[in-house]
Every structure is written in structure tokens, then in C-alpha cells.
Structure 1
Amino acid sequence: MGPLQIKEILQTSPENQSIVVKGWVRTKRESKNAIFIALNDGSTIHNIQAVAEPGQFSAELLLSVTTGSCLKITGQLVESQGSGQAVEVKIEDILVYGTADPEVFPLQPKKHSLEFLREIAHLRPRTNTFSAILRIRHALAFAVHSYFNDGGFFYLNTPIITASDAEGAGEMFRVTTLDLNKLPRTDEGAINFKEDFFGREANLTVSGQLEGELGAMALSKIYTFGPTFRAENSNTTRHLAEFWMIEPEMAFFELEDNMDLAEDFVKKVITYALENCKDDLNFLQNRLAEEEKNKPQNERSIPLLEKLSFVVDNPFERLTYTEAIEILLKSKPHKEKKFQYPVGWGIDLSSEHERYLVEKHFKKPVILTNYPREIKSFYMKLDEDGKTVRAMDVLFPGIGEIIGGSQREEDYDKLLGRVHEVGIDPQTIWWYLETRKFGTAPHSGFGLGFERLVQFVTGMGNIRDVIPFPRYPKSAEF
């Protein structure tokens, strides 16, 4: 099983027992009475303090014990003489696994900007901030799988390489083995993809939804959780080129069932983080408060734990898109022309509109339904009025939309009509259409960008800081 991790050691009752600690040095300080080494192995936000006596070890050895070096410390676990920790290690032996020259090691014990840390993404997990984020990310992923498993869902692995564009936006990364300096051409001069590896155009997937629906029409309840890709030239704090999507699809679920599932799902997953990541969340809350202490009170964010409890403790408000537009048209920001983007029926709501509804008007999370058909995807079920579709978006404080979903159109003729209407070649998704021919059924689903969830739970301002190695325009270094 390997050595005990620092998280376990810190919870161990000290009885002068022999113990081995392994990890990376966060700090070392020397006084005339003792040498103090703070060690961390990533298992917890907290360091363990190891203490040696002056003269116990050679000067040469102690010079190699610097911030960032990796050590194995053998000693006795004793009650701590200082404040801030219950136990410490009385050092008997030090083995230096690897040194870190302080002249060049970039993570010295001082404040570093998040922008700088993105440039050293191979080292930033060693900081308190990013180790906390990665532990919370793990906990959320575990909670996602546990939630769906306990709910009778089956985990379906949908293709990463696909010939379909689920979103219809055309912002896809092409996958090819063709020599770009010597592309084969058809008689008409177009690229001859019949010569390519798959014999046709292929791309990285933007969503596993379409294939997920196929699984739901056999297994009743499935979910996907995998990487997706968008070739959108966006440099906002909310977009990545590579990110992970959670997409449940459920046969026999209609829109109301879909909303119930989405609300229960995010509440349970966030509750898991609140119960199992207390130290990391407290650290991130304090970090955010420190960052914002010089801002005016009305510009500060809701304290992190309060924001998470806000979602968990409140029933989500449910209303139609049309009702939301009416509220926005009557709102003070609209009347005083303080919204950056115009309000009117038929618009795709911006984040400022969504946040107004959540944070100012209802003061609780919101689920909007029944959007205009023109601004939603082809697969969404048409309402009886022919103008709107049975879509739903879940809106959160500070972030706006976090979940998008719908009841899917199960009627073959209506779906085919929408496919033609938006300009999709039916032959490219013939298999998707066929599920409406062979035992069709009402079904629904939604998508949640995992990084958007992690960003919300950790309170980080930029989505590039909640994935280990972010991919965005002009950046794929690590």
C-alpha cells in the first residue's frame, strides 16, 4: 500500500512511534534552537512540520533541502510544540530524492499570479491553490459517477472521433492523416477525403449526445463523461478548446423529469464537495476574500461557501423564456440602459441577463424553459405553438448557464423537417434519424461542462485554472 500519506499522518495520535514521511519541501527555516521543514505530498492542503536539531545534519545536506526538493524523512511522530498543527515529526534521518536549485526553481514561497502559473502548468499543481482545485476536481468527478451509478444509469463511452456535428456550429477540429503539403484532390478540385484514414471527413467530437441518445434507446438511462472539443476562437474566461462534458440521456423522460434530474444532480454533487473538501474549500474561500479585499463591498463576490449553500439549499425557480423576457423588459437595468446587450423576445440571453434573474430578481438558481426554436438546436422537441422548443437551461449565480438540455424530438417527420431547415445533410446522421423509425419513445437529456462546474465550486475566475493543462487559442504547450 505504500507509505502513509501526510493527510493520514496528521490524523494519527502521536505516541513517539517511528514514521516515514515523503513529499516536497514547501519551506525550510532555521533558528538557533531548531531547523523546521514543512513537507507536503499533495494529499491535503496542510503541511506536516518536521523538526531537526542544529548540527544534527551536515551543512552540505541542509543546503540541498530547499523549496521544491523532494525528501524522505524518517523520525518519531510527536505532539507538536508549536501552534497550527497537532503533530510533527522529530527527524532522525533525511534522504534527498531530488533537489531544486533555488536560483532557477520558479515556485519560491511568495505570491505568484495565475497568469504566470499557467506558463508553468507542469509545476503549478504543487501550489496550494492548484492542489486544492485538483483535489476538488477529483471529488466532483467521483461524485458524478457515484450519483449516476446509484441512480441506475449506465456509463457509455461515446466516440471522440466523429463525422457528425451535434451542435451544428461547424466549430470542429479536423482529424486527418493526409499530407497537408500534398493533399489529394477530386476532379472538381476539392480535397478527396476518400483517401483519408476513415474514407471521409472526420473531426474531434463537440458532444457525445447524439450517440448517447442511441444508448438511452436501448438501456433507458445512460450518461457520458468524456473529453469534447470546440474550435471556437474564444479567449474568454469561460471557454476552452478541450474540456470534459457530462451528458445523461434518459428514455421515457419528458421535460419536467429532465429538470427534476438536473436540479437533484447538481445539488447532490455540490453537497458531496461541501462534505468532503472542507479544508480545500475554506482555503479557496479565504484566497478569494484576500483577492477582493480592496474592492468596494458591492463589487465583491458572494463568499464561496455561502454561494454553494445558496444552490444546495434553495429550490430552483422554474419559468419560461417568455416569462423571463417580460421580467427583463420591466427590470431597472433595462429601463436605465445598463444592460450591455439588448433585451427582446428571440434573443439568445447573455450572461448578464441570466445573472440578473438569478442574483437580483429571484435570488435563487433558475431553470428557464421553452426557448425560441431559432436559437436552439435541431434535435429539440417542438412545442405545440411551433415557435418554441422544450429546452431547459439551468442558471447559477456568478456564472449564468451551467446546464443546457431539452426533451428530444422523437417524431421522425418533425425531426427530419428540422434537419432540412437548419441545412444538415440527413445522410450524415442517418443512424440518428433511424432511432425515430424503430421503436421511438419520448426521451430527454442535458449537458454540463465539467470545468464550468469545477469553476463554480472552486470560485476561480478563469476556466483555464480548473483543468490541469488548458487548451485555448495559440496554447497547447504541455
Structure 2
Amino acid sequence: MAMAAVLSRATISLRLKPLTTTLRHFSSVSSSVSIDDIVETSKTDKIGEFKKRLRIVDIKGGENEGLDNLGQVLTVRGWVRTLRVQRTVTFIEVNDGSCLSNMQCVIDSDAEGYDQVEGGLITTGASICVQGVVVPSPGKKQKIELKTQKLVMVGKSESSCPIQKKVASNEFLRSKAHLRPRTNTFGAVARVRNGLAYATHKFFQENGFVWVASPIITATDCEGAGEQFCVTTLIPTSKEATDSSADAIPRTENGSIDWSQDFFGKPAFLTVSGQLSGETYATALSDVLLPYMIELELAFADLNDDMACAVAYLQYVVKHVLENCKEDMHFFNNEIEKGIIDRLSDVVEKSFVRMTYTDAVELLLKSKKKFEFPVKWGCDLQSEHERYITEEAFNGCPDIKAFYMRLNDDGKTVAAMDMLVPRVGELIGGSQREERLDFLENRIDELKLSKESLWWYLDLRRYGTVPHAGFGLGFERLVQFATGIDNIRDAIPFPRAPGSAEF
């Protein structure tokens, strides 16, 4: 009963403050023209049919770049990129994030809301709503423009706004991660990243994979890096974390941390891979996709199946962004990396080079190139080695090489692969998993891991084991590869780094 009462009061409270009322009041502060005068809004408290909002990409997109819309009265909402006030007319460039292009809005003194321009309220960064007629543009940068009839400032931008027309370095923009999506570069990165994510799910859904969410918190380390970040409730939270005392953490009689009092009753960490959980579902559902880190598992599959899937996947998502993010890709080709479109086209069209770990080592040794990390059989290949193979030895062709996981018949190598691409190096890492119980138990003993904590993983080999394989993709590396962005921190919306967790 008490809960029902709370919900009822919350519902009434929401109904007393409809969105349209708030917008009308806000806009009336700065102009006699309100958003309600431009945008059709609901006048009741009933929830209406959701309608896709008209975006700039909808107006200017297509082969005719908007000419099909000539004569139509349309409304755009967005943020002011530039403002040019001339003697008889003012040009306002508006961007809503849907595409790289701005909508050029031409406004003269006869338009409603022009007083906001005269009063200096419309500045770079301000959010506005503009209604006007689509007309041909005499300028060379666009085929159409909007002859403004009505203008409303939605949100004022103070003069201290750090995002201005002048070009800012990526390093500076990292300190403004909350505003940098408004720049051409980071807006384009976000749209291409979105395209890659969409194509990723589309590819796997079309090929029969089942989407499975693996745990982010784990007590079982997968790849040797899982103990980097501990997840615990033992630190007191009754006050600011910075004021918490280490003395308050419960301890055993010998002074060790008493993990039995923690939330999970044992040490727990942020995982670096969902692979082990993925194998659990793959041995029941056949083929599964783990979304957090773009990992997949294939049942009844060997290393060749794994490599074939990796190649098909990469070619699919690259082709998708080339075809569906053309404006952004031309921006990257002109402003970030010359020739990136040709490089990505090669990935789609060229055959991938396959070579073994042994062949890769021999190739590096024969190169006589002086590497920072010396090459010898048995060493882990570093980024400099991988980039030499893809960029110099094979002139930009992607490459797959094998070196770990399921033990091969030679007793020295394993059935695993890395996919290497130009500029980035390793993009995908995968392997055929060890499905034989005795081999897996021996490997666990060699590495001095706990069989007790891996009991469930061993059960998969006891009850209906099958050959299976999988791989993991570095999604941010994929974004780097597809955009030409040098620093991986610029491929992540809100990057986390040592000493940096600001946003």
C-alpha cells in the first residue's frame, strides 16, 4: 500500500509539469516567438504517438543533396556553429549532429525573432530552433539553404564557450570531453563508431548468433589482467570516499583483508574478457556474441572457422561504413588520413594473408630491420613487429597469424590467431579453445591456477564437450582503423587513463 501511494503521488507530480509548458515558459524569456509557434506540440497530458524528428541529414541527404525539398517549410533544431552578420542579411550555420553538414539559415530583419540576433543572444554554441523555406543556395558549399521565417533561441551560450570556430588540438579537446562531440572530428568519430556498432550486431544477427550478456564482475581471471581493478564493498561509504580510512577495512587475525565480509564473500574484480562465460552459452546455443567487448564463440568450430568468421566480419563492417558514412569518411580522408578510403577499400576487396607464427618470426628476422624489441622464436610479437608485417612486408594487406591456446600436435604451438591491420597492428585475437579435459587440466596445473575456482569451466569438458573457437575484437582499435585517428583516447567517448577519470 505504501509503495502504491508513492507511485501515485509521483504520477500526479509528473502530470502537473508537462514538457510543453516548460518549453513555452523558457522561450518566452528571450523572444516573443516561442517554440510552440514553430513546433507542433501536444496540449494535453496524454502521451502521443512517437514520431521521428526531422534532422538535417534527412533534409540534405540523398543524391540531390536536398534539392527535392525546395519550397517546403521545414524546421531544424540544433547548435550554432558560425554566425555572420552582414549589412542586409545574417547567415547562421546550424548543426544537429545527424551529419557533418550544417544547415545554412539565412535571416533578414523581417523574420520573427530577428531581435535575438540584434540583441546578441545568438552566438556560437547557442541552441536554436529555426523554421523556414528551403531555397536554392547561390553558395558553392551547399545546394540548398533555409530562408528563415521564425527563429527561437532555446539555450544561450556564454562567451567563455571553449568550442569555437578556430581549430583546437585533440589534446586540448580531451580536457573538454563533454563538449568535443560538437566539433567536426569528434562528431564524425561518433557517427562512424555508431555505424560500426550497428553493422556488428547486424552481421552476427544475420548469421544466427545469439546475443548474451557476460558478467562485468568476476572472481575468475581469464587473461591474466583481471586483478587490476578490485570490486569491493569493504571501504566505508557513509562519507566521502576520499575521507575513508584504510583502518576501517575488516581484517583477519593475521592482518589480511577479511574477504568473507565482502559483498561476494571472496575477492572480485572487473573482468577483461567474457570468453569463459561465452563458452558456457556456446556449448548450449552454438554461436553467441558478447557485446561489451565484441567477443564471440563458435561451437563445433576449429581455428579455420574462427579465421573465416573474423575476415567476413571485418569486411562486412568496413563495407558498411564506406557505404553509409560517406560524408564522414570523406572528411577523414581529407582532414585526418589521406588515402584512408582506398586503404579500407583494400580490406573489403583484397584477400587476407595467412601465415604461421614461425613464418612471421622468420620474416622479421630476414628483414634485418632493427626493432626496439629483439625478435626470436617464442617471443610475443610487439606492435612494431605487427605493423612491419602488415605495412611493409605485405604492403597494407591484413594478416592472420597463429600462436596460442589449444595445443597443436607438435606440442610447441597452439591453435590461435591474431588479425593484424595497417596502422593499428593487432585488431582481433582468437583461438580454438582446448576442449579436451585432460589437456586443459594439465595446462591449469602448469600455470598453477585454481581448479576449484574453475570447476564450472572444467564441467563444460565433462558434459558434452565439442570443438569450439572464438575471438575478441578491440572495438576502439576498430574505430581507429576506420577513422585514421592516431590516439585511441580519441576513439572513446569518455576515455579512462591513469590519473584521468574526469567525465
Normalized against structure 1, the TM-score is what? 0.89
Q: Which residue of structure 1 lines up, in the alignment, with residue 476 of structure 2?
A: 451
CA deviations over 1:263-292 (Å, ceiling 9, x no partner): 111111111111101100110121125xxx
SS at match of 2:371: coil
1:9 to 55, 59, 68: 59
1:316 equivalent to 2:352? Answer yes
Q: Deviations over 1:27-75 (max 9, x none)?
A: 0002223100000000000000000125752266551111000000111
Q: Say if 1:461 and 1:451 are closer, same or farther in 2 by CA, change over 3 A.
A: same
Aligned twin of 1:297: none
Q: Which of 80, 84, 90 is 1:25 aligned to?
A: 80
Q: Judging changes above 3 Å, is the alpha-carbon distance between structure 1 residues 63 and 455 closer, same or farther for their aligned structure 2 residues?
A: same
Is the contact made by 1:157 and 1:224 (CA closer than 8 Å) also made in structure 2? Answer: yes
Residue 448 of structure 2 corresponds to 423
Q: 1:465 aligns to what?
A: 490
Confirm or deny that 1:183 pairs with 2:249: yes
Corresponding residue to 1:195 among 261, 264, 271: 261
Counterpart for residue 261 of structure 1: 309
Does the 8 Å CA contact 2:116/2:153 hold for their aligned counterparts? Answer: no
Q: How does 1:267-346 map to 2 (within 5 A)?
A: 267-289=315-337, 303-333=339-369, 338-346=370-378
Question: 2:286 corresponds to which residue?
Answer: 220
Q: Whose radius of gyration is greater, 1 or 2?
A: 2
For 2:412, the aligned partner's letter is K
1:250 is aligned to 298
Task: Give the drift of 1:310.
Answer: 2.1
Which residue of 174, 183, 190 maps to 2:230? 174
Amino acid at match of 1:329: L
Which residue does 2:208 correspond to in 1? 152
TM-superposed CA distance for 1:15, in Å, is: 3.4
Alpha-carbon contact 2:220-2:453 (below 8 Å) kept: yes
Q: Is the 8 A contact 2:227 2:270 kept in 1?
A: no
Choose 426-435 or 173-182, whichever is displaced more.
173-182
Aligned partner letter, 2:491 = V
Return the match for 2:165 from 100, 109, 112.
Answer: 109
Q: Which whole-Å CA distance do the structure 1 matches of 2:489 and 2:476 have between them?
A: 9
Letter paired with 1:18:
V
Q: Does 1:91 align with 2:148?
A: yes
In structure 2, the CA distance between the partners of 1:41 and 1:59, relative to structure 1 (3 Å rule), is closer
Cα distance, 1:59–1:316 mapped onto 2, change above 3 Å: closer
Residue 120 (structure 2) pairs with residue 66 (structure 1) = no
Tell me if the contact between 1:32 and 1:54 (Cα under 8 Å) persists in the aligned partners.
Answer: no
Name the CA distance, whole Å, in 2 between partners of 1:81 and 1:111: 27
Is 1:474 paired with 2:496? no
Match of 1:394 among 401, 408, 419: 419
Match of 1:139 in 2: 195
2:182 pairs, out of 95, 103, 126, with: 126
Structure 1: tracts of 5 or more residues without a match: 227-244, 290-301
Q: Which residues in structure 2 correspond to 1:359-378 (within 5 Å)?
A: 359-363=391-395, 364-369=397-402, 371=403, 376=404
Give me the whole-angstrom Cα distance separating, in 1, the residues matched to 2:158 and 2:226: 48
The answer as to 2:231 corresponding to 1:165 is no
Match of 1:142, SS state, is: helix
Does the 8 A contact of 2:226 with 2:270 survive in 1?
no
Equivalent residue letter for 2:483: T
1:76 corresponds to 2:133: yes
SS in 2 for 1:45: coil
What amino acid sits opposite 1:146 in the alignment?
Answer: K
Letter in 1 for 2:127: C
- How far residue 81 of structure 1 moved from its aligned partner, in angstroms, is 2.4
For residues 51 and 62 of structure 1, the distance between their equivalents in structure 2, rounded to whole angstroms, comes to 17
Give the Cα separation in 1 of the matches to 2:333 and 2:129. Answer: 32
Which runs of at least 4 in structure 1 moved beyond 3 Å after TM superposition? Answer: 59-62
Tell whether the 8 Å contact from 1:402 to 1:448 is kept in structure 2 after alignment: yes
Structure ranking higher on relative contact order (CA contacts 8 Å, 6+ apart): 1
Q: Measure, in 1, the Cα distance between the counterparts of 2:481 and 2:234.
A: 41
Offset of 1:17 from its aligned partner? 2.2
Q: Quick check: 1:6–1:47 contact (8 Å CA) kept in 2?
A: yes
Report SS of the residue matched to 1:401. Answer: strand
> How many angstroms apart in 2 are the aligned matches of 1:70 and 1:59?
12
SS at match of 2:172: helix
Q: In the superposition, relative to structure 1, how do residues 97 and 59 fare at CA in structure 2: closer, same or farther (>3 Å)? A: closer
Provide the residue aligned with 1:441 in structure 2: 466
Q: Tell me by how many angstroms 1:332 deviates.
A: 3.4
* TM-score normalised over the length of structure 2: 0.84
Report the structure, 1 or 2, having the larger strand content.
1
Q: How many residue pairs are counted as aligned between the two chains?
A: 435
Letter of the aligned partner of 2:300 in structure 1? F
One-letter amino acid of the counterpart of residue 259, structure 2: F
Aligned to 1:40: 95
Going from structure 1 to structure 2, the CA distance change for 1:189 and 1:468 (only over 3 Å counts) comes to: same
Change (3 A) 1:63 1:257: same
Shift of 1:208: 0.5
**Can you list the C-alpha shifts for 1:271-317, whole angstroms capped at 9, x where unaligned?**
1111101100110121125xxxxxxxxxxxx6211221121121111
The corresponding residue for 1:240 is: none
